[in-house]
Structure 1
Amino acid sequence: MIHLTNVTFGYNRRQPLFQNLNISLQPGTIYGLLGKNGAGKSSLLRLMGGLLYPTSGQLTVAGFEPRKRLPAFLQELYFIPEEIYLPAISIQRYIDTLGPFYPNFDEAQFRQYLTDFDIPQHQKLTAMSYGQKKKVIISFGLATNTRILIMDEPTNGLDIPSKKQFRKVVSSVVDTDRLLLISTHQVRDLDNLIDAVIILDDSEVLLNHSLADIGHRLLFNTVSAVTEPVLYAEPSLRGHAVVMENRMQEDSKVDLERLFNTTISNRERIKVLFH
């Protein structure tokens, strides 16, 4: 559904942010996009949304070239940026203005999400708190029912109960023809939500695999003492939280934070294990 082939992009031609980047993302999946500050996560999302243009290479989203911004393409994708703006209008006016751009928009679904998020529906959008505004944008994006939904740091500004509700609502909307891509620094907000992880670092994709595949190849464990080779270890209350190669095919729950640290600190070994 989203395919990048040898994509190069940079704000400065002498220092590309990405060079010969290759990614393939499939429908029916919730992807988590992880990376350090400055790794280019937001730029990558904007390339997919047609807000930035590749210097070279091929990029297609749902069969369209995003840079052309064709109406048929815009009806298939909804993009929630990290920084949001809402006009000084009512929710109903917002629905009446933007809803018609999305053929599959469902007002009843939108209002149900607002209820789930405990959003007051009879005041102007600009009178809401930042967290409330964020939940309005998320609710609207989900209710557009576009085939592709891209979210950049969607949980910024949300309190703990709202983050729990976010995970519950988002997990309920995926079907076999829909793709969700969520970029975040708050990796724990993606626990029990995503199906696959993309880790972007130093102009390349180090990892793009399902959690099931990651759990098949890596073992996440806690040991009292590190007595055998590990890929990553950090102190914990019960000894050491470690990540090691899963040679015995044991079951363990993927810890996203440890996975990220393991991947960044063992780039070449991770490439061998997963490629």
Structure 2
Amino acid sequence: MIVIKYLSYGYRKGQQLFEGLNLTLHPGKVYGLLGRNGAGKSSLIKQMAGLLFPVHGSCTLNGREARHRDPDMLEQLFFIPEECQLPPVTIPVFLRIYQGFYPNFNLHQFEEYLRIFRVPPDSHLRRLSFGQKKKVYIAFALAANTAVLIMDEPTNGLDIPSKLQFRDIVRSAGCCDRLTIMSTHQVKDLDNLIDNVIMIDQGQILLQADKAALTEYFSPEPLDLEILFNRVIDQRS
């Protein structure tokens, strides 16, 4: 569980991005953090990952302060940044270095995800394109089987076929106990994966609700998230 209480944060003194923000996220759900560019999505999930620190308030992950990033917390958390930096080594060497940090890592799953992504398992990371590197990062993250998985704009850098592969892999890796958060401004890329919606704009959470309930409220017909987000923004303005 991730619990944010009265969190305030700003990049510069006197310029608050978040002020008194409250949010609770539960295991077993896939949360979509939706917002326009500059809305505060990346800053919010970096607070959850302990990469940014609140000025006031708190952010806890399974009862531990995220900003402390202690080893017991980190082995149950995986964060995929928008820009993935990988060391200049082969995939087998990468595995030997990093898989030991995650006690639930599953090598068979990792190899299967690479196969679906069509990335050769003996590839040298330095020779891969940005999109291919991101596939390796995503495959490793899912195979780590952490209690919390946070993804910042996970489909950026992926072409259309790769986005389809990404959706297939995330669905196949579904876990009833995992808490997954995916931030995006490309709403259609993640529409079919999300079961709970968080909409953020200008550093404020506009709403958090079950996707099916929102769809029923705004339209009697099935409604995609992009239309839903635009309707919420329009109502706010």
Following superposition, the deviation at residue 76 of structure 1 comes to: 0.8
Confirm or deny: 8 A CA contact 1:41 1:200 kept in the other structure: yes
3-state DSSP class of the match of 1:36? coil
Following superposition, the deviation at residue 192 of structure 1 comes to: 1.4
Asked if residue 123 in structure 1 is aligned to residue 123 in structure 2, the reply is: yes
- 2:180 corresponds to which residue? 180
- 2:198 corresponds to which residue? 198
Higher relative contact order structure (alpha carbons within 8 Å, sequence separation ≥ 6): 2
- 1:253 corresponds to which residue? 222
- 2:33 corresponds to which residue? 33
Please, which runs of 5 or more residues in structure 2 have no aligned partner? Answer: none
Per-residue CA distance 1:53-77 (angstroms, 9 max, x = gap): 0011121112211111110000110
- 1:103 corresponds to which residue? 103
3-state DSSP class of the match of 2:118? coil
- 1:167 corresponds to which residue? 167
* Distance (whole Å) between structure 1 residues aligned to residue 106 and residue 152 of structure 2: 23
* Distance (whole Å) between structure 2 residues aligned to residue 64 and residue 174 of structure 1: 24
Following superposition, the deviation at residue 21 of structure 1 comes to: 0.5
| Paired residues, number | 237
- 2:151 corresponds to which residue? 151
- Taking structure 1 as the reference length, what is the TM-score of the superposition? 0.84
Confirm or deny: 8 A CA contact 1:6 1:56 kept in the other structure: yes
Letter in 1 for 2:177: D
Q: Which has the higher helix share?
A: 2
Per-residue CA distance 1:123-173 (angstroms, 9 max, x = gap): 210101111101000000000000110001111111111111111111222
Per-residue CA distance 1:181-206 (angstroms, 9 max, x = gap): 11112111112111011110122100
Structure of higher CA gyration radius: 1
Following superposition, the deviation at residue 86 of structure 1 comes to: 1.1
* Distance (whole Å) between structure 2 residues aligned to residue 5 and residue 172 of structure 1: 33
3-state DSSP class of the match of 2:198? strand
- 1:264 corresponds to which residue? 233
Confirm or deny: 8 A CA contact 1:8 1:20 kept in the other structure: yes
- Taking structure 2 as the reference length, what is the TM-score of the superposition? 0.97
Following superposition, the deviation at residue 216 of structure 1 comes to: 2.7
- 1:54 corresponds to which residue? 54
Letter in 1 for 2:222: K
Letter in 2 for 1:57: G
Per-residue CA distance 1:43-97 (angstroms, 9 max, x = gap): 1111000011001112111221111111000011000000111111010110000
Instruction: Give the % identical residues.
Output: 51
3-state DSSP class of the match of 1:161? helix
